[in-house]
Amino acid sequence: MPVHTSAYKGPPFYFLNAHFETIIPSLNRKVNGIDYFRESITTPDDDFLTIDRLSGDGERLLIISHGLEGGSDRHYVRGLAKIFHQKGWDVAAWNNRSCNGEMNRQRILYHHAASYDLRSVVNHCHEKGNYQEIALVGISMGGGQTLRYLGEAEQFSIPEILRKAVVISVPCALQESIKTLHLKKNKMYEQRFLSKLREKVKSKALQFPDIDLNGIDDIKSLKEFDNRYSAPLHGFKDAQSFYAFCDPLPFLQKIEKEIFILNALNDPLLVGECYPYALAEQMTNIHLETPQRGGHVGFVQAGKEFTYSEERSLAFLQ
């Protein structure tokens, strides 16, 4: 499928660069009028996932996967939930283990390759609902989970009524993307993630006292944290093997469903194969759009309630 020419005109004039486009919406954007109801489901390994839902008489269901240290309460999830629900869709915005207020039971937390939890959510919604169509939208890390889930179709069945998916600001090549967090210009993002993850591991150590917290506050980089905690907690010897396993790139060419990838060229966290032009040109089911502007999960539009990524997702999935 040829790469799509983007119609995104860019953010308001005072969004001076990619960092403004990324940070301002994250800090200031409010999406009102969302009244979720929460349900909890049990996973095959006896953990639980929470799903925040908007339901009506919809025949179509949108399942939303959030980004790193996010949740259904983040503006980019609420924006998607609102615009789709206004068009008659039911919405299921699920929270990764330990995200959005409730610590999970098991020792593991979550990561970019937690497609098994997305699978639990999809199967639950499919079995318990009466939908004619299910669609997925994944943002950033949630996009990586979505790509992996769709690329695992040979191993695990995917409902036939799930035909399309959108991924936004997705690190298609995680091993390249993760290196951007070590750049001096991106230090603020790395330290923000690091601060949140430190507190999460401290909470997990209350459940599992054998987790060694000595020196955790002295850790200076995300890679050091992943070497010390993320990798071993999830069964990997080090950060590099962890990143290699979590990389969605090998799964892209295995996807048979129709997918739309929206990655801004000025995204400070994306580089290289995160823009899979060659694959999009070879595969008829992969749609790729790479606007010049947008930042990371930004895509703000002057004078509009919804972002370009939200309107574009709706247009593709409708």
What is the reported pTM? 0.97
The residue type found at 245 is F
Domain ranges in the chain are 18-173+248-317, 178-246
Give the CATH number of domain 18-173+248-317: 3.40.50.1820
In order along its 318 residues, the chain shows pLDDT tens digits of 779 999 999 999 999 999 999 999 999 999 999 999 999 999 999 999 999 999 988 899 999 999 999 999 999 999 999 999 999 999 999 999 999 888 999 999 999 999 999 999 999 999 999 999 999 999 999 999 999 999 999 999 999 999 999 999 999 999 999 999 999 999 999 999 999 999 999 999 999 999 999 999 999 999 999 999 999 999 999 999 999 999 999 999 999 999 999 999 999 999 999 999 999 999 999 999 999 999 999 999 999 999 999 999 999 999
Q: What's the CA gap between 168 and 309, in Å, rounded?
A: 7
Nearest to 272 by CA among 171, 182, 185: 171
**Structure-token match 């972002």, residue found:** 307
Question: Across-strand partners of 60?
Answer: 133
Residues 6+ apart with CB under 8 A from 169: 67, 139, 140, 143, 262, 263, 264, 267, 269, 270, 294, 296, 297, 309
